[in-house]
Amino acid sequence: MPVESTQTLRRGQVAVTPYYCEENIYLLCQQLDPALTAHAVFISNAQKEVPYWCQRVATGPEGIIFWDYHVVLLVKDPDSGATWVYDYDTKLPWPCPARQYFEMSCRPHMDLGPYQHSFRAIPHQDFLDHFSSDRSDMKRPDGTWQSPPPLHPLLRGPKAAHAHTLPEFIDMTGGIGTVLTLHELMEMFCNYVTP
């Protein structure tokens, strides 16, 4: 039965595979009612080095990690109108209010120069339709896995142009969805006013 409310979206609803955030979020999107306002959000930048705070695998006193990309789910609660973030890798609450999440994880008050975050927000049904991955990005040159792959079959949406559209979602130019800066994302989903 599809999830019709953020109140019934549980953390253990799908089998989570470490380092495959895009597949984890895809499986979570499959649980959603198509009528919900929800977006898969890819976070990256031109350098493919995105600073991220409050992640469980982060080490060091600053608690920061640099991802080549990360993927989360934003869901607007149909009752309250509030937007919630679902991130399997965060130390923050599940779900987390969107403003709190982005303030803590992406630090909008900091000038990160060329490492500034870019966001591709994709309506969740479009993500389900157009995403595909052959997991080749997780293989080393010798063919071994950087991290063990998920046990479920390869994911391929019914409208995916080819077997590995993941790079097109990570590339923050053109493509499906809307590419936003951090402040634009927060204005759109968090009622944030840029200082």
Separation CA 188–CA 148 (nearest Å): 36
Residue numbers annotated as active site = 21, 70, 87
pLDDT in tens, 121-144: 999 999 999 999 999 999 999 999
Residues 179, 169: Cα–Cα separation, whole Å:
10
The answer on pLDDT for 47 being more than 70 is: yes
CA–CA gap between residue 42 and residue 117 (Å, rounded) = 10
Domains within the chain, CATH numbers bracketed:
13-190 (3.10.620.10)
Residue 34, burial from CB neighbour count under 10 angstroms (0-12, 13-18, 19+): exposed
pLDDT, one tens digit per residue, over 137-169 is 999 999 999 999 999 999 999 999 999 999 999
Rounded (5°) CA angle 119-7-1: 95
Contact 65, 52 (CB under 8 A): yes
User: CA nearest 137: which of 154, 122, 123?
Assistant: 154
Res 191 pLDDT > 80: no
Token pair, residue 41, equals 């959000």
Q: How far is CA 31 from the centre of its chain?
A: 16
